[in-house]
């Protein structure tokens, strides 16, 4: 029988076959890397099947949707080409085809390109591209009526996405740990990561750069007779509000802060469910409803406004980065022992306080904002976030493989990180108290997002906002004001403490900071300034 006579072959049949072929033959590197991790972490090697299924369903979803029209052969050819291309580079060099790789490739000259030619490359292109594409163009594929085609293709796409969700939840313990720890393995997912990189590359190349947007150009400070402000804003990491005993948690996770005169808001919504979104968003004028990450880098944020008004700003980072917030102010990396004097297995948040007296004395009594970006409670290796002396809640989970610990062990490991943050924040307050006679001092602590600790079988964070539980979106926000600030702004602390149940959000940070620094500008919204919750009207 010649392949021309395969009368049953339809576009959806070739879509399914292609997804299967590419999953099996073009993803060796991803499976090999995953296998090494599985062996190293003592997980069952059977999880490879889960990963393969995950890869197949994801690929099928895209192929089914994109091949429901008459030109479906060309789309399949593009998939095979991308698969051959990235499988060759991944299997030969362990290279991931990302946006930067494509930028490099576009700048490669002919000689360099010829230097890559090899028998191996020819083999990959023959087997993974030329051969399957030849068959697809050669066989007779019955073109069903449009309605039928659309029905079949969307049906298969829907079925694959539903199966994908079921697979995800059925093995969420494993998959969440795996994706968090082994994100880079997933970037070998072929050819989806390459096609995505191509999209990013063309988008970056062809979209014209937007104009940089300025905000608060009218900002200025009127306070010739008062003391200057010294504010420390602590940007927390992965702390959830309900694990603070200040917010009525049953375990005593705030033994130190509870003896300070702090105000803890317990009904605060985060802007996003990840550091990447929440950190820029809390400094953005747009607020939760209008914030778009893609626009953030092209517009000014709170730090720019404060700088224009004359505030000296220092950002110290013991997390991954400022996510673009501190691009135009003084930035110091505290993940490295070169800057951070308190490092054991890792550099500790408390190290960010060292040398600050020196910095303050150099600013000659002008307004100062210091932002400290914590490592905080970043998971899943919670146990690594605290020195031994803070591992008070026991037994605690001692691995990043959360599926190997009980919920109680995970909870204890997590609560120990809150205990350490309690210590860190109380040291910030102690530090500020030294300056109370010369500065109007304040500390604001707010976490970027919370964390799922196994509730409903979900771990970590980063789910789309509408799917995320309160564990992830309800963040702690704690204020401490020095006597000098309380007096000059006429704040009634008891009145303020009565308002801590009020539903608020990350949007309040922007305006509260404008208020504390007495920055006059049209973009200031008094109703979103937390200080005014404590001022009688
Ligand atoms: Zn975060």
DSSP 455-495: GGG-EES---GGG--HHHHEEEEEEEE-HHHHHHHT--HHH
Distance 506 CA to ligand 1 centre (A): 14
Own/partner long-range contacts of 328-334 (Cβ < 8 Å, ≥24 apart): 328/303, 328/304, 329/303
Distance 234 CA to ligand 1 centre (A): 13
Distance 282 CA to ligand 1 centre (A): 12
- Give the angle subtended at the CA of 301 by the CAs of 361 and 483, to the nearest 5°: 45
For residue 132, what are the contacts with CB-CB under 8 A and spacing of at least 6? Answer: 18, 21, 80
For tokens 């400290």, the residue is: 372
Distance 400 CA to ligand 1 centre (A): 17
Distance 521 CA to ligand 1 centre (A): 30
Distance 283 CA to ligand 1 centre (A): 15
User: How much is the pLDDT for 2?
Assistant: 47
Distance 334 CA to ligand 1 centre (A): 17
To which H or E segment does residue 235 belong? strand 229-236
- Give the angle subtended at the CA of 369 by the CAs of 363 and 371, to the nearest 5°: 125
Distance 273 CA to ligand 1 centre (A): 8
User: How much is the pLDDT for 1?
Assistant: 41
Residue 519 has φ and ψ, to the nearest 5°, of: -85, 120
Distance 2 CA to ligand 1 centre (A): 58
For residue 168, what are the contacts with CB-CB under 8 A and spacing of at least 6? Answer: 54, 175
b/e sequence 423-451, b meaning 16+ C-beta within 10 Å: bbbbebbebbeebbeebbbbbbbbbbbbb
Distance 461 CA to ligand 1 centre (A): 8
Helix axes 72-93, 131-138, angle to 10 degrees: 170
User: How much is the pLDDT for 241?
Assistant: 98
Distance 378 CA to ligand 1 centre (A): 7
- Rounded-to-5 percentages of helix, strand, coil across the chain: 55, 10, 35
Q: Residue length, the chain?
A: 537
Distance 178 CA to ligand 1 centre (A): 18
User: How much is the pLDDT for 198?
Assistant: 80
Mean pLDDT by 10 residues, the chain (537 residues): 57 93 91 82 82 91 93 93 86 68 62 67 92 92 88 94 90 78 72 81 66 89 80 98 98 98 98 93 95 90 96 95 93 93 95 97 92 94 94 93 88 98 98 95 98 84 84 97 94 96 98 95 96 87
For tokens 């709170």, the residue is: 302
For tokens 């009594």, the residue is: 365
User: How much is the pLDDT for 206?
Assistant: 66
User: How much is the pLDDT for 26?
Assistant: 92
User: How much is the pLDDT for 178?
Assistant: 77
Distance 182 CA to ligand 1 centre (A): 17
SS3 at position 287: helix
Q: Which residues surround ligand 1, an ion (CB under 5 A)?
A: 237, 275, 448
Distance 238 CA to ligand 1 centre (A): 5
User: How much is the pLDDT for 60?
Assistant: 95
Distance 163 CA to ligand 1 centre (A): 29
Distance 396 CA to ligand 1 centre (A): 22
Instruction: Report how far residue 134's alpha carbon sits from residue 377's, in angstroms, rounded to the nearest whole number.
Output: 53
Q: Is 460 left (phi over 0), alpha (psi -120 to 50) or beta?
A: left
């Amino acid at each position: 029988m010649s392949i021309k006579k395969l009368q049953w072959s339809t576009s959806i049949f070739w879509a399914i076959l292609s997804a299967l072929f590419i999953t099996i033959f073009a993803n060796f590197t991803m499976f090999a890397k995953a296998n090494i991790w599985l062996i190293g972490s003592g997980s069952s090697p059977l999880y490879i099947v889960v990963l393969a299924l995950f890869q197949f369903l994801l690929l099928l979803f895209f192929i089914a949707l994109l091949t429901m029209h008459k030109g479906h052969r060309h789309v399949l050819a593009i998939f095979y080409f991308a698969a051959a291309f990235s499988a060759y580079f991944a299997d030969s060099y362990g290279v991931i085809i990302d946006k930067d790789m494509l930028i490099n490739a576009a700048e490669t000259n002919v000689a360099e390109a010829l230097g890559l030619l090899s028998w191996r490359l020819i083999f990959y292109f023959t087997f993974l591209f030329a051969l399957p594409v030849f068959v697809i163009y050669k066989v007779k594929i019955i073109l069903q009526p449009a309605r039928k085609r659309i029905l079949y293709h969307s049906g298969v796409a829907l079925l694959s996405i539903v199966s994908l969700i079921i697979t995800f939840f059925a093995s969420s313990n494993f998959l969440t740990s795996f994706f968090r720890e082994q994100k880079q393995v997933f970037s070998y997912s072929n050819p989806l990561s390459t096609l995505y990189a191509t999209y990013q590359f063309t988008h970056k190349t062809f979209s014209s750069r937007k104009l940089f947007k300025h905000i608060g150009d009218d900002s200025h400070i009127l306070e010739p007779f008062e003391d200057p402000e010294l504010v420390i804003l602590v940007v927390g990491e992965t702390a959830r509000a309900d694990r603070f005993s200040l917010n009525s948690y049953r375990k005593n996770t705030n033994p130190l802060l509870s003896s300070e005169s702090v105000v803890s808001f317990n009904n605060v919504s985060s802007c996003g469910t990840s550091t990447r979104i929440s950190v820029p968003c809390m400094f953005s004028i747009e607020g939760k409803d209008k914030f778009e990450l893609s626009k953030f880098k092209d517009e000014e944020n709170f730090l720019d406004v404060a700088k224009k008004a004359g505030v000296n700003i220092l950002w110290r980072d013991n997390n991954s980065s400022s996510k673009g917030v501190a691009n135009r102010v003084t930035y110091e990396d505290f993940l490295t022992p070169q800057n951070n004097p308190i490092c054991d297995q890792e550099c500790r948040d408390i190290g960010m306080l060292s040398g600050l007296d020196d910095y303050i004395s150099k600013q000659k009594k002008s307004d100062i904002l210091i932002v400290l970006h914590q490592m905080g409670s970043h998971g899943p290796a919670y146990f690594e976030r605290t020195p031994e002396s803070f591992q008070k809640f026991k037994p605690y989970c001692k691995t990043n493989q959360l599926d190997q610990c009980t919920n109680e062990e995970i909870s204890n490991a997590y609560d120990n990180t809150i205990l350490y943050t309690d210590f860190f924040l109380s040291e910030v307050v102690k530090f500020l108290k030294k300056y109370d006679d010369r500065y109007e001092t304040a500390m604001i602590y707010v976490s970027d997002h919370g964390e799922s600790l196994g509730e409903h079988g979900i771990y970590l964070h980063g789910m789309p906002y509408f799917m995320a539980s309160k564990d992830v979106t309800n963040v702690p926000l704690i204020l401490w004001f020095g006597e000098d600030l309380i007096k000059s702004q006429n704040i009634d602390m008891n009145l303020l403490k009565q308002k801590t149940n009020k539903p608020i959000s990350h949007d309040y940070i922007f305006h509260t900071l404008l208020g504390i620094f007495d920055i006059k500008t049209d973009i200031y919204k008094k109703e979103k300034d937390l200080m005014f919750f404590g001022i009688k009207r």
